[in-house]
Chain A
Amino acid sequence: MALLEASGIILSFRGVNALSDVSLSVDEGTIHAIVGPNGAGKTSLLNCISGVYRPQRGSVHFEGKDVSRLSPSRRTALGIARTFQNIALFRGMTVLDNLLIGRHLHQKVGVLGGGAYVGPGAREEIAHREKVEDVIDFLEIQHIRKKVVGTLAYGLQKRVELARALALEPKLLLLDEPMAGMNAEEKEDMARFVLEIHEERGTTTVMIEHDMGVVMELSNKVTVLNFGERIAVGPPAEIQKNRDVQDAYLGEQHELEIDG
């Protein structure tokens, strides 16, 4: 059964259709890529899944449960975590604190108990820190653990954002252009992390990505959007040959170049 099932999503802003009848089915344990030209509705679709947008029509089912009416925070509590196209971290806080905030929803002890740092509060804090350190080790960011996020290079900030999403221990990870604006080496690192998250942690991933080389290399399945419509879905090799996709991406020139 699919882990995530979004069906018949219609989203419009004052009559402008951002998504018209888009469906997305993500199987457990896969990496699913969403591609499409600018303005195709990729981020809108991700926002509908995470609950930032409420679509006019359609439903989102997560683990068989209808989550269409739930707020973003409730969906996060169910196990959906995401990163943003433009990094959304607390810039004035350290990497460690940003990640610990990612653990907030797993916090069981109240404000007073947590503040006192004795008994259950202390134990919980230690347990959270352990999870966070696990993620720090996994994403190889030990050297910036105590650095303030705002002072870090862009590529590293992206990695920290991914780390925060992972600190939530999500079942479904939504990545909005994880490699945008990175240099070749950073991209390679990020691609390796996405693969390792998949292999080592078995986390299901939905990823918006422009770099076709990366998409072909990493994903098990690709959904192609164009002007708010789903024009194709299938394994990467098939998508690569799809005529409509080539039209949407390259206009009249019918040769899809794969780099990387």
Chain B
Amino acid sequence: MSGLQALGGDDTFPKLLVRNARTIGKRVAMREKEYGIWQSFTWAAYHEHVRDFSLGLVALGVKPGDKVAIIGDNRPEWVFTEIAAQAAGAASVGLYQDSNVTEVAFVIDHCDASIVVAEDQEQVDKILDMLEKLPKVRHVVYTDPRGLRKYDHPALIAFEAVEEKGRALGKEAPALFEVNVRRTTPDDVAIVCYTSGTTGNPKGAMLTFRNLLTMALALDEVDEKKGDDEFVSFLPLAWIGEQMMSLSASLAKGFTVNFPEEPDTVTEDIREIGPDVMFAPPRVWESLVSTVQVKIMDTTPFKRFMYERCMPIGKRIADLRFEKRPIGLGDRIARWLADVLLFRALRDRLGMTNLRSASTGGAALGPDVFRFFHAIGVPLRQIYGQTEISGISCIHREGDIAFHTVGKPIPGTEIRIDERGEILSRSPSVFLGYHKNDEATAATLEGGWLHSGDAGYLTDEGHLVVIDRVKDVMKLADGTQFSPQFVENRLKFSPYVKEAVVVGSNRPFLTAMLCIDMGVVGKWAEKNKLSYTTYTDLSAKKEVYDLVQSAVDEVNETLPPAAKIEKFVLLYKELDADDEELTRTRKVRRGFVEQRYAEVIEALYGDAREVPIDTTIKFQDGKTSRIRTTLLVRRLEHGKAA
């Protein structure tokens, strides 16, 4: 159990940073766009910041085994803090920047953090609001002083001030940082990664340097990164996927990580950087496709004409490649023409001109989205894994891609399906356990295998197919099995449907509650001269129901007769993580949603044609708003209910 030989003894993040500062010190390690310009940090500068901040943390009393919590957007300081904490022997705990105060307080308290590094006033406010309930927190460090001038809380301290303390300590004890770094071992806990969890409180998965680095190296064998690659870090650093790319892979391979200016400027910033490597969950790829589709609806007739001619060619050839069939000369020429006329421009617009390694993970991605990217020449691949295995256990190999699978296990990973159909895995990247939750640890690691909780099977070619969560495979009242998530994903392949919740457990038939995609449906409404005011109003239009029904009909075609969707409603609001209807990674919390919309579900299984709604919704800042409307129940003309 090692797999770290390739690193030649530099087997922790701090050691790798020191190595990189020594060997490639003058190369750019990271960039941050500020004041409209990409500001660079070399590996040497990266190392200096980490050294100063790490000693600063020591000066503030951080000891080996402590935890340092970090909350904020992706910035160099985030990464400095993480490695600085690790160099001091502590573990870093990332928090999602859009978490509300209760979620933030839970994680900070549960992980026993003594120091919280918060980006700006918004995040500092969250912590200070809850400070009374956080007795273990001694210092709150902020990186952006803006708006904090009038704060005089004794726990507050500026990032630079901590670095200053570190420099002072460095003068007294010049060798201390080196000694600390040398003391880190691959089996130290590097990060505690809180998983969103669809039920109950989040659990903190403890991952060691060995876990994270073996993962980065194993993945690299099948999806190579190079030292001069560019990567844009725009997904939460609290997420294991971003940890793997921006930290382990970047440290191990020495590529450049770029931080966007603001969350609003990501698309533009990606275009400016033109990354070689991109890893994002399905929603990002989906939203890119839907942006393209919306823009095409809006563009000049000539461009639309080109798009409508070229896309089918690209898609047809992508399909031939998926099926590993030969591509004729005529097709090759057509593909080349389409590339010159459209795909190059499209890739440029999306910032994907240089993209060599593109992957998606976290949930299933629709075949249409897959086909789209392969059609325009972006080699998108599916990745599968859990936080508990440092992110990844399977990936599509180049030229061996199948929509319905998640590819083959990466080197060093074993996959097995147990008698219940659950996917089990084993590798050096499997985590130590959950922080302060031995019971859950024992259950997850039973028999030495990581229990994923996913149901799946292996194909004859050795590809893994994920069906659904084991506990989410459901039965209708007559015993017919179905996977709501599978149906939901199919529904979401329609550009008009943003979220879908399928109900049917112990019921006579399937029903669905759908949320429209405001951007796409709004555009469609404008084009069809349909006036509307709000999301609620648009969702209640008969025309919109007709539009969505055609999408539901299409999905029904592919479903077995015993488990087709019989009725659906369009919800009056989008499902929202702030209302606890989705997890922070935008997965539906089924139990909660079914409880919250119990009335609607009852109406779906009754004779009602409409449901009156009177409810309040809550925003991130705690404000509420009242909604009163009437939902229509749309019945489809087939099956048991008709």
Contacts and interface: CB of A to CB of B under 8 A. Distances in A.
B147 to A, nearest CB: 6
Given A196-B146, A200-B146, A145 B36 contact: yes
Given A143-B262, A143-B265, A143-B268, A136 B149 contact: no
B149 A137 contact: no
A145 B265 CA distance: 10
A133 B36 CA distance: 7
Contact of A142 (B146, B147, B149, B264): B264
Contacts of A192: 147
Contacts of B35: 130, 133-134, 136-137
A133 B262 CA distance: 14
A192 B121 CA distance: 12
A77 to B, nearest CB: 26
Q: Interface SS of chain B: helix, strand, loop or mixed? A: loop
Contacts of A134: 35
B150 A199 contact: yes
Interface in B237-287: 261-262, 264-265, 268
Interface in B17-52: 34-37
A36 B78 CA distance: 49
Nearest to B34: A137
Contacts of B37: 133
A133 B39 CA distance: 14
Contact of A196 (B147, B262, B268): B147
Interface string A199-226: 1100000000000000000000000000
Interface string B71-99: 00000000000000000000000000000
Interface string A101-142: 000000000000000000000000000011001101100101
A142 B36 contact: yes
A135 to B, nearest CB: 10
A192 B621 CA distance: 15
Contacts of A129: 36
A131 B587 CA distance: 43
A110 to B, nearest CB: 26
**Majority secondary structure of chain A interface residues (helix, strand, loop or mixed):** helix
Contacts, number: 30
Nearest to B264: A143
B158 to A, nearest CB: 15
Contacts of A130: 35
A136 B262 contact: no
A111 B100 CA distance: 53
Which among A129, A136, A137 has the greatest number of chain B C-beta atoms within 10 A?
Answer: A137
A140 B262 contact: yes
Contacts of A196: 146-147
Interface string B122-151: 000000000000000000000000110110
B149 A200 contact: yes
A196 B34 CA distance: 20
Interface string B301-323: 00000000000000000000000
Nearest to A196: B147
A96 to B, nearest CB: 8
Nearest to A143: B264
Interface residues of B, number: 13
B152 to A, nearest CB: 14
Given A133-B35, A134-B35, A142 B265 contact: yes
A142 B261 contact: yes
Nearest to B37: A133
Contacts of B36: 129, 133, 136, 142, 145
A55 to B, nearest CB: 38
A199 B149 contact: yes
Contacts of A137: 34-35
B74 to A, nearest CB: 15
Nearest to A129: B36
A196 B148 CA distance: 10
Contacts of A142: 36, 261-262, 264-265
Contacts of A199: 147, 149-150
Interface in B471-487: none
A192 to B, nearest CB: 8
Most buried by A among B36, B147, B262, B265: B36
Interface string A172-209: 00000000000000000000100010011000000000
A102 to B, nearest CB: 16
Nearest to A145: B36
B121 to A, nearest CB: 10
B192 to A, nearest CB: 32
A183 B268 CA distance: 27
A29 to B, nearest CB: 14
Interface string B547-591: 000000000000000000000000000000000000000000000
A196 B144 CA distance: 14
A173 to B, nearest CB: 19
A10 B150 CA distance: 41
Nearest to B265: A143
Interface string A48-62: 000000000000000
A149 to B, nearest CB: 17
Nearest to B267: A143
A137 B37 CA distance: 12
A194 to B, nearest CB: 13
A94 B69 CA distance: 40
A129 B37 CA distance: 11
Contacts of A143: 261-262, 264-265, 268
A142 B37 CA distance: 11
B263 to A, nearest CB: 9
| Centre residue among B35, B37, B146, B268 by max chain A CB count within 10 A | B35
Contacts of B265: 142-143
Interface in B137-196: 146-147, 149-150
Contacts of B268: 143
Contacts of A133: 35-37
B268 to A, nearest CB: 7
A156 B14 CA distance: 44
A145 B37 CA distance: 12
B607 to A, nearest CB: 41
Nearest to A136: B36
Contacts of B146: 196, 200
Contacts of B264: 142-143
Contacts of B147: 192, 196, 199
Nearest to A134: B35
A143 B268 CA distance: 8
B267 to A, nearest CB: 9
A94 to B, nearest CB: 12
Nearest to A199: B149
B464 to A, nearest CB: 40
A196 B261 CA distance: 21
A243 B209 CA distance: 71
A137 B35 CA distance: 6
A148 B30 CA distance: 31
Contacts of B261: 142-143
A145 B264 CA distance: 12
A160 to B, nearest CB: 15
11 contacts: A129-B36, A130-B35, A133-B36, A136-B35, A140-B262, A142-B261, A142-B265, A143-B261, A143-B262, A192-B147, A200-B149
Q: What are the nearest 6 A-B pairs in CB distance?
A: A143-B264, A133-B35, A143-B265, A142-B261, A133-B36, A142-B262
Given A134-B35, A142-B36, 16 more contacts: A130-B35, A133-B37, A136-B35, A136-B36, A137-B34, A140-B262, A142-B261, A142-B262, A142-B264, A143-B264, A143-B265, A143-B268, A196-B146, A199-B147, A199-B149, A200-B146
